[in-house]
């Protein structure tokens, strides 16, 4: 009987030790995966702070080249390579994507193999066709339908919205990227999933300027167009082009005003196109001006 009791106690003790060992092992695995994911998001944040925009040609003068819920592609500057005639700005390209097996891949196209046009990729992983090196930077990512990346978009100063995907035309309005990874080494038992989150404001991201045009009528035939209230979010110099309909009446310059003197009776539709140093352009509202004859007098709204 004593031996039987000893066996029962020993078996129970061994079961407790086995459970403790399994939980310790699971916690260690979870901690390792959390640490790996945290390093991956920190490195991604560092690279996003080193965006190369505007630069490198391609379909748009923007650092972001793809902004989807599980697929992010952008340009940075290669600090180790040597500029070439084909890549004078020494740019490199990174892509982060989440595969269906829960692995977060980092893909890099170096400055030596740089192409202005972003590569076309299918899927995520070793056979996706990305021209460069590839490595797994996080595993056991269980986001499922939850976005890996979210983007804070500001189409106008003071307005913000967060969305899971951004169209190419709206890349200039993206001012921040949030990365959110849900890590779980075993979804059937404890410990529960952990969340690793990093948010980066794109300090080098070039945003389009805001165009504003007003008109004053200081004499009967003189209309002064003024675009000096136009604003560049990065406070960089602006260039102005004034148009009457589709006709350029004052070509690109840093002159923010244009004096139009009517010579004949006609109707006019004035606009100004402003351009920042990165090549992003915005067209203002149009101002309809009517000039009547005998004597010539121009009238219309002020904005």
pLDDT at 292 over 60: yes
The chain-wide mean pLDDT, for the chain, equals 86
The three-state DSSP-derived secondary structure of 51-91 is: ECCCCCCCCCCCCEEEEECCEEEEEEECCCCCCCCCCCCCE
How far apart, in whole angstroms, are the C-alpha atoms of residue 175 and residue 162?
A: 10
User: What is the per-residue pLDDT for 15?
Assistant: 67
What is the DSSP secondary structure assignment for residue 139, as one 8-state letter?
-
User: What is the per-residue pLDDT for 107?
Assistant: 96
pLDDT (average), residues 112-120 = 88
Task: Place 143 in a pLDDT band, splitting at 50, 70 and 90.
Answer: very high
Within a 10 A sphere around the Cβ of 204, how many other Cβ atoms?
16
How far apart, in whole angstroms, are the C-alpha atoms of residue 125 and residue 113?
A: 19
Percent of the chain with pLDDT over 70: 90
Backbone angles phi, psi at 64, to 5 degrees: -70, 135
Answer whether 0.75 is exceeded by the pTM.
no
Backbone angles phi, psi at 266, to 5 degrees: -170, 165
pLDDT (average), residues 80-109 = 91
pLDDT at 60 over 60: no
Could you read off the pLDDT of 232-286 as tens digits, one per residue? Answer: 887 888 999 999 999 999 999 999 999 999 888 999 999 999 988 777 788 999 9
pLDDT at 87 over 50: yes
Between 52 and 41, residue with greater pLDDT = 41
Which of 89-93, 139-143, 233-237: highest mean pLDDT? 139-143
User: What is the per-residue pLDDT for 93?
Assistant: 93
What is the DSSP secondary structure assignment for residue 125, as one 8-state letter?
S
pLDDT at 108 over 90: yes
> Which domains are present in the chain?
27-201 (no CATH), 214-299 (2.60.40.10)
Could you read off the pLDDT of 20-33 as tens digits, one per residue? Answer: 666 667 678 888 99
Give Cα separations from 217 to 220, 244, 256, 272, 294 (angstroms): 7, 16, 17, 17, 17
pLDDT at 58 over 50: no
How far apart, in whole angstroms, are the C-alpha atoms of residue 295 and residue 300?
A: 16
pLDDT at 89 over 90: no
Residues in Cβ contact with 110 at an 8 Å cutoff, skipping those fewer than 6 apart? 78, 81, 92, 132, 133
């Amino acid at each position: 009987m004593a031996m039987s009791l000893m066996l029962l106690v020993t078996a129970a003790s061994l079961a407790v030790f086995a459970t403790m060992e399994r939980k310790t092992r699971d916690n260690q695995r979870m901690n390792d995966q959390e640490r790996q994911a945290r390093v991956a998001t920190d490195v991604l944040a560092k690279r996003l702070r080193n965006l190369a925009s505007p630069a490198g040609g391609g379909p748009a003068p923007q650092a972001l080249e793809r902004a989807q819920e599980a697929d992010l592609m952008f340009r940075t500057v290669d600090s180790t390579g040597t500029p070439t005639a084909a890549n004078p700005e020494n740019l490199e390209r990174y892509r982060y994507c989440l595969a269906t097996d829960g692995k977060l891949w980092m893909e890099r196209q170096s400055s030596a193999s740089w192409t202005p046009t972003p590569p076309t990729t299918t899927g995520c992983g070793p056979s996706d066709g990305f021209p460069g090196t590839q490595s797994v930077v996080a595993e056991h990512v269980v986001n499922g339908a939850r976005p890996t990346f979210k983007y804070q978009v500001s189409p106008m100063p003071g307005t913000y919205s967060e969305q899971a995907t951004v169209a190419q035309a709206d890349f200039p309005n993206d001012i921040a990227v949030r990365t959110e990874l849900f890590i779980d080494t075993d979804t059937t038992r404890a410990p529960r999933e952990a969340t690793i989150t990093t948010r980066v404001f794109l300090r080098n991201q070039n945003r389009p300027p805001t165009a504003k045009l007003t008109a004053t009528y200081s004499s009967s035939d003189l209309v002064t167009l003024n675009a000096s209230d136009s604003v560049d979010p990065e406070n960089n110099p602006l260039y102005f082009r004034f148009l009457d309909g589709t006709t350029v009446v004052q070509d690109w310059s840093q002159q923010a005003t244009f004096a139009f003197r009517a010579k004949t009776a006609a109707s006019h539709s004035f606009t100004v196109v402003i351009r920042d140093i990165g090549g992003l352009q915005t067209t203002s509202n149009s101002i309809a001006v009517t000039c009547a004859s005998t004597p010539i007098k121009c009238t219309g709204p002020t904005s």
